[in-house]
Amino acid sequence: MRVIVYEPKFVGHFLGFASYAANAYARRGHSVRMTVGREAGNTPQAVEKLATLHPGVDVEYCLDVPICHQKRPGGRQEAEALEAILDTRECDQLVVPSADFLLHGLLGNRRLRRQLRALSGSDLILHNIFQAYPGRGKRERVYLLADMLALDLAASSRIYTVDPFAVRASGPRLSFLGRSITEIPHPFDQPESNLDKQQARAALGLSADDCLIGSIGDLGVRKGTELLIRSFAGSGLRGKARLLLFGLVSPSARQTLEEHAELVDDGSIIVRDEFVSDQDFRHFCHAIDLMWAGYPNHVGISSILLHAANAGTPVLASEFGSVGWMTQEYGLGRAVPPTDAAMSAALAQFVEGERWSISADDAQRLMESHTTRRFEEVLLRRDHLGQLSPTSAPEAAREYRL
């Protein structure tokens, strides 16, 4: 079977997540073509995230989709690019590993909807189901109606989500979508052995004795980096702890750092504004004492929680949405209101008071439910592949008719 994995975004986790989907089909013996952004070629992200691709996956750097953070124009651009791909490449099965924008783009693209119906099957994976989250405004309610229509128009596609909060804790809200949505695990594999904290610190050139609070990855509004910097500055921890910011710093986070330049100058805040390799990412998670998972208004999960659980590093999270729910459900740390005062108090309590720890048993329960094997089993379990019988689906594959 000829499979196309379509991923126009190459920032953040998108390429890595797409590679898991491509590998799942390639390991079943299918012919897999992964179409990604033209600009992704030779970037550190592509070199790192695509290094573990199955030999049966062909990568084509062919998509010209501008980076966009708005659903309407972004959805239209992704839909038009996918329409062109299906016009010029042979395809039986389509996989869209991050389909949130594309789903909206289906509304205005009748030809693409016809193309999807002509395929043997299509898998659309949603990450940001904001309809399941409380407190959304008028604009979100308009998007809800649009997505209801888009889901109806995409009736031939199988819909998945990696957000457990959306289907377990907010099912009644999500019921308005009127479609069955299958919860799919976020792929993550535990390494055979964990690192020693001092070894991890030495590998990154960090002090062996400091109390280290850290945030890593794309450092901006979504992760609450600005909130973290302000909260650390207001916590009174200067000289008692250091804040590590490793990853790509957004303009707004950089501006907040400039407002607290004295903390950077004296080494209270250590910034490495660069792409972080997977190896250094792993070292970082083991080296720090507290992982930041602020995400003040983030819709969806964060793999940061999986990395922290694997390292046994407690987290400080916003109580909002899936990140807050998972932090509490699996005993990963503390979830507090996403305000400067609440976060400053929590940071001070961790450093100056009794440090909280992770629940090892609950963290292991989380890790066992989010593995590459379980991700592949859910994605491939349907009998349309002719590879797995319906009875071979794992028990954790939950399908909700909402």
Read off the pLDDT of residues 157-195 as tens digits, 9 standing for 90 and up: 888 999 988 887 665 555 556 667 888 999 988 887 778
Average pLDDT, integer, range 212-238: 96
363 occurs within a structural domain: yes
192 occurs within a structural domain: no
pTM (predicted TM-score): 0.86
The dihedral through the CA atoms of 201, 203, 207, 212 has a sign that is negative
214 and 111 co-located in one domain: no
299 occurs within a structural domain: yes
Two tokens, residue 7: 């991923």
Q: DSSP characters for 63-112?
A: E-------HHHHHHHHHHHHHHHHHHS--SEEEESS-HHHHHHGGG-HHH
**Between 241 and 158, the higher pLDDT residue:** 241
Q: How confident is the model at residue 394 (pLDDT cuts 50, 70, 90)?
A: very low
205 and 340 co-located in one domain: yes
CATH number of the domain that residue 227 is part of: 3.40.50.2000
132 and 225 co-located in one domain: no
132 and 47 co-located in one domain: yes
pLDDT for 309: 95
Let me know: does 50 contact 59? Beta carbons within 8 Å. yes
267 occurs within a structural domain: yes
Read off the pLDDT of residues 305-334 as tens digits, 9 standing for 90 and up: 999 999 999 999 999 989 999 999 999 999
pLDDT for 143: 66
375 and 361 co-located in one domain: no
Q: How confident is the model at residue 379 (pLDDT cuts 50, 70, 90)?
A: very high
273 and 380 co-located in one domain: no
From 179-183, 210-214, 290-294, 382-386, the region with the lowest mean pLDDT: 382-386
- Domain that includes residue 318, residue range: 197-367
302 occurs within a structural domain: yes
Given a cut of 90, is residue 67 above it in pLDDT? Answer: no
Given a cut of 90, is residue 31 above it in pLDDT? Answer: yes
Given a cut of 70, is residue 11 above it in pLDDT? Answer: no
345 and 386 co-located in one domain: no
pLDDT for 176: 54
Q: Domain total for the chain?
A: 2
131 and 238 co-located in one domain: no
Task: Name the average pLDDT for the chain.
Answer: 87
181 and 228 co-located in one domain: no
